[in-house]
A = this chain, B = another copy of it.
């Protein structure tokens, strides 16, 4: 076995060639459950991040029929949940869509209801189509419509369903399951009754915590996640439109707003952040890169993104990912319609751990050379 495949001939880096004596030594070290740092130093201390995830665009027109077909193939009782998960070619070992983030498309038919459970993973849902979907979180029931964003934070009892008079629903699930597993902190519980009691008026979370810059007097909150569980599309879109009139936006993302925990002003959950951004008609962004893993769903419009030199054309409901430290730039192809991108990410993790780094592309007017067109 070769031990010198990571040599670099640079001062301050390891550059040790294998010799019979050294290889014998390495063998002795291995028996003691140790190794020589210089054989791996250049590998484990890279000059900059190289993500194991690859950029992927999942086209909804490709996925939709397969998602719907799962209803015929498996029962909710047997499957637990009928979900098609996004499996990044570089992250199949951990079933991640990108980095340490899991994502799947879940389908439910009218009258169906999943059983209640709780886990130490944090979860969110973004509604794609259908009518009558709802989520219940710790006894708080919330009806959901297209482009609504809902939290099921770590440790909460939660369950989903579709009202009997609704239409088949599909939504995107986002979770930090891979991260929680990597951190070896995954716990899972099935609700003893399989169903929760609804203990509060429907949508009370929005009624009490969803007002702009107002906090209910008599309610304490000391959980590490937001007491506001549902963020509706209507007011979110309105907010982006208003902000676009008052702000130049950013060169990379035009007008982008983070969903927040109203109690702290910070991220919605300790491990997952989320945002909605609006690219004005004709917006052509420039490129930057940053650490952290990002999953986008197109909530409105069409355009394309260039990610590490690959162009990905997207339209409504398509999903794509940007791996850590990948250069990316977004373009709204329409000169008359805006485009909106929902995003969830591990930005709270990167910030908590002081591992967020960011850098703009300065060459070529801030635009990447397109190396290839991404294929779904």
Contact = CB atoms under 8 A, between A and B. Distances in A.
Given A74-B38, A246-B203, A265-B265, A216 B357 contact: no
Contact of A32 (B63, B99, B324): B63
Contacts of A16: 74, 78-79
Point out which of A33, A83, A200 has the most chain B C-beta atoms below 10 A from its C-beta: A33
Interface in A135-157: 154
Given A79-B14, A79-B16, A214 B236 contact: yes
Interface string A170-209: 0000000111111111111111001000001101101111
A120 B263 contact: no
Interface in A207-227: 207-219, 224-226
A350 to B, nearest CB: 7
A13 B78 CA distance: 7
A118 to B, nearest CB: 11
Given A12-B190, A208-B243, A34 B84 contact: yes
Contact of A270 (B191, B204, B210, B353): B353
Given A58-B33, A95-B44, A210-B212, A291 B183 contact: yes
28 contacts: A11-B115, A13-B190, A14-B78, A32-B66, A33-B56, A33-B376, A37-B84, A38-B80, A38-B82, A41-B81, A44-B178, A45-B186, A47-B189, A49-B185, A99-B184, A154-B355, A182-B182, A211-B212, A211-B239, A211-B257, A213-B260, A214-B239, A216-B255, A216-B256, A224-B354, A225-B354, A261-B265, A352-B352
Interface of A: 10-16, 21-22, 25, 28-30, 32-38, 40-41, 44-53, 56, 58, 62-63, 66, 69-70, 73-74, 77-89, 94-95, 99-100, 102, 104, 115, 117, 119-121, 154, 177-191, 194, 200-201, 203-204, 206-219, 224-226, 228, 231, 235-236, 238-239, 242-243, 245-247, 249-250, 253, 255-265, 270-271, 275-277, 291-293, 323-325, 349-350, 352-357, 376
